[in-house]
Amino acid sequence: MKGEPHRALACAGVLFCLILPAVFAVGGPIGRASAETNASWTIGLYIDADNDFDTYWEGLSLLYLKNIPASADVNIVAFVDRMAYEGTELWEIEGSDAQIVETFSEMNFGDGATLSWMIDETATRYPSDHLVIDLWDHGTAWNGFCGDYTSDDWIYLDELKAAIIDAGVHIDILSCDACSMASIETVYTTALTGLVDIVVASLETVAGDGFPYDLMFTPVALDPLRTPDQVAGDMIDGWAQYYDPLSQYFYATLGAISVSNLYQSMSTIDAWCDEIHANLDSYYRAYKAVVRNTYSVFYTKHQVDMVDLGNQILANSKITDPTLRALTQDMIAAVENAVLYLDDAPNTMMCGGLTLWWGSSFEWGSYSDVYAATDFAIDTGWYDFLVDYNS
């Protein structure tokens, strides 16, 4: 699966190994290494397969991409780092024709600087009216994504923010073909860049099959005038078409989240966080019961769905403070307003599309330092609440 427990928990202890774009050695082009004219859409994939997902690129994702009809108005490109081969490849996919058009020296795909370089290269080489950047690999919400095993490095949220800001490119859709990236911590970080409109991600484990790119992007290939909102909806529809009939993926869920809608509601969410904290002494035991009953992500345990969390608070008869209850209703409404499209499986029907870390138990001791550095934890005071909750 895209997010195995032992892979997810490895994030916190990784080492950082920087390889700056300035030292990237470019190999000679093999084919057309840039679009000739401006297109309506560019879909750029950041394929971090320099790990145990190596075979998933050509074995699955590339096959899906080759099923998308070729379109002169839609560029589909992938920057690929693999475990089996030295170096980095630039692929262009035009219908069933998929070619490596340029090669580069080995890069660290677990470094935010590499992601920034990829975003800039994609926008420069393949100019278009709209841009999708797809992050492909392991994911663990705010606790790291895109693990490069050769470099022993992962990208964290501060690096994601810096990568987008440094690239300075407007991203219509930032999609995450990686586990658990539909966290409020992740989406809030993208909001601070001012450069991302929509995040498409799952709050749960993404199966090894990954995104069904053909079902997701065939509509825009056939109609390149589709808007970002429509394409985000297509992605959720394509996901549903693939996963809903498969009972073994009872946990499958995917949402499209409006970054601006969430950001505009942050005063409400901030007030809710403060009120949760203010009532800690009165409701400590009730909070523990609420979290125990709330839907939590398969392998992170205390990354809880925000809508279900809110509903559990409202259902708990011991939580009677009127201000807290009113703000909880407002928080639920804010999340539901931010989630534009959502497909849930039978096991995730109570989920609303965004998670929040309610860290406790062994997870708190292991990851509290990482969480303390996230923008959401700092700006809302949620980290301070968790400190008091766990002490």
Q: Which class for 146: exposed (0-12), middle (13-18), buried (19 or more C-beta within 10 A)?
A: buried
Residues 80 and 129 in one domain: yes
Residues 165 and 49 both lie in one domain: yes
Which CATH number characterizes residue 244's domain?
3.40.50.11970
How confident is the model at residue 29, as a pLDDT? 38
Whether residue 144 sits in one domain with residue 82: yes
Would you say residue 20 lies in a domain? no
Q: In the prediction, which pLDDT does 286 show?
A: 98
Domain boundary among 231, 260, 289: 260
What gap in Å lies between CA 304 and CA 313, rounded to an integer? 13
**pTM value surpassing 0.85:** yes
> How many domains in the chain?
2
Identify each DSSP E strand in 13-96 by its residue range. Answer: 39-49, 74-82, 88-94
β-strand partners of 148: 153
Angle between helices 266-278 and 382-390 (to 10 degrees): 20
Q: Are residues 71 and 160 in the same domain?
A: yes
Do 171 and 293 belong to one domain?
no
Residues 240 and 162 in one domain: yes
Is 344 domain-assigned?
no
Tell whether 243 and 193 lie within a shared domain. yes
Residue range of the domain that includes 191:
5-15+37-260
User: What does the pLDDT read at residue 22?
Assistant: 33
Same domain, 220 and 179: yes
Residues in the chain where the model's pLDDT stays below 70: 1-36, 299-301
Q: What is the pLDDT of residue 144?
A: 92
Final residue of a structural domain among 260, 281, 312: 260
Decide if 30 is inside a domain: no
CA distance 70 to 66: 9
Residue 205 lies in a domain: yes
The verdict on 202 and 322 lying in the same domain is: no
Q: Does 84 fall in a domain?
A: yes
Same domain, 182 and 210: yes
Residue 32 lies in a domain: no
Among 232, 260, 288, where does a domain finish? Answer: 260
**Per-residue pLDDT tens digits for 43-71:** 999 999 999 999 999 999 999 999 999 99
For residue 68, being part of any structural domain is answered with yes
**288 and 376, same domain (yes or no):** yes
- In angstroms and rounded to an integer, the radius of gyration of the C-alpha atoms of the chain is 21
Nearest residue to 60 (alpha-carbon basis) of 34, 42, 43, 78: 78
User: What pLDDT score was predicted for residue 217?
Assistant: 98
Question: Has residue 361 been placed in a domain?
Answer: yes
- Are residue 218 and residue 293 in the same domain, yes or no? no
